[in-house]
Amino acid sequence: MAKSDLYKSAGVDIDLATRLLADVKGKLAAARRPEMLAPIGGFGGLFQIDLSKYREPVLVSSIDGVGTKLMIACMMGKYDTVGHDIVNHCINDISVQGAEPIYFMDYIGIGKLRSPLYEQVLGGIADACKASNCAVLGGETAEMPGMYGNDFDLVGVITGIVEKSELITGEKVRPGHVAIGIGSCGLHTNGYSLARKIVFDVCKYKVDTYLDELGETVGEALLKPHTCYFSAIREARKNGIHLDGIAHITGGGLYDNVPRILSDDVSVIFDPGALPVPPIFKLLVEKGSVSHEEAYRVFNMGVGMVWFVPEKEGDAALKCIRSCGFTAERIGGVVSGNKTVTVK
């Protein structure tokens, strides 16, 4: 018996990852930056920051997962989009503070490593990182038979950098600021536990059920990848637009994410009707009898990100966002208050 056969017979093939990794080496190699000092594969990733570019550099880090959207990927047998999901979610989380993403690392926990899942997930990660000039610095794949069954988990860790004086904190958001909503393409990476219950348990749909009101199958609508908004933020900063506060609308929706950046003496009143609501949300609300308030707490309801800018810069912000290919509208304003959110 070969040295690794006993481990393989216990459910872990330590050679398989190496073989599958060979298929995505080109993509991973393309997702790099000149600050990387070594290729992927070492015990630690090496990244040398060029401190000459900054006076007071601040590193911004975030960690997140894709949640039960992974179950939809398994049902569809399509895994590249969840690679985009984890990268884009993480990039949005740090870009709302003004940070440029510089490197990303991933963790895959799985019962039994298999193809094409492994190559598609890593390929999606590499493509998404390359699109935002973010290096894939390394990662970890843990094969754990008996732990996950046929499922898997996907986690991402990102690091970005921003000049301290250019941090976006929300403390400058004052009464009179306007709220600019940027459109989402669907659920992004939140609300899937409720969405799955409505779609599969209540409606009895399958992932390949085609619905005219969606214009696509249920699975295609649910698997749309999380939109990355970093390009619009970068463009706005270049054009001198005062981004005084930005909220990434993830789990908790408008109600829970926006207060995270508000001062204690301001509130926001939203009227998001100007932004189109993707058909998947209309289906979920109607078929699941989801109340207005719960819908805007569990789901993003078509608002993927909110910018708070001075009223006089509202039109410039809209023009900037739209020039980057996103849908955007004024969806509210800031008033005196107590850190609350109202959604009409």
CATH 3.90.650.10 fits 178-343, yes or no: yes
Residues 327 and 254: beta-carbon distance below 8 Å:
no
CA 328 to chain centre: 18
Task: Parse the chain into domains and list their residue ranges.
Answer: 5-166, 178-343
d(CA 11, CA 55): 52
Neighbours of 249 (CB within 10 A): 26
**Selection from 96, 72, 75, 99 nearest residue 85 by Cα:** 72
DSSP character string of 131-191: HTT-EEEEEEEEE-TTTSTT-EEEEEEEEEEEEGGG---STT--TTPEEEEEE-SS-TTS-
CA 185 to chain centre: 12
d(CA 209, CA 318): 37
Confidence category of residue 257, pLDDT binned at 50, 70, 90:
very high
Mean pLDDT of the chain: 95
Tell me which of 3.30.1330.10, 3.40.50.300, 3.30.420.40, 2.90.10.10 is the CATH number of domain 5-166.
3.30.1330.10
pLDDT in tens, 15-64: 787 788 787 888 888 999 999 998 777 789 999 999 999 999 999 999 99
d(CA 194, CA 190): 9
Q: How far is CA 5 from CA 2, 8, 9, 117, 300, in A?
A: 5, 5, 6, 23, 48
Confidence category of residue 1, pLDDT binned at 50, 70, 90:
very low
d(CA 230, CA 307): 12
**Selection from 155, 150, 141, 136 nearest residue 16 by Cα:** 141
Half-sphere exposure of 117 toward its Cβ, with a 13 Å CA cutoff? Answer: 23
Q: Determine what percent of the chain falls in helix, strand and coil, rounding each to the nearest 5.
A: 40, 25, 40
pLDDT in tens, 99-111: 999 999 999 999 9
pLDDT at 2 exceeding the cut of 60: no
Neighbours of 4 (CB within 10 A): 12
pLDDT in tens, 57-94: 999 999 999 999 999 999 999 999 999 999 999 999 99
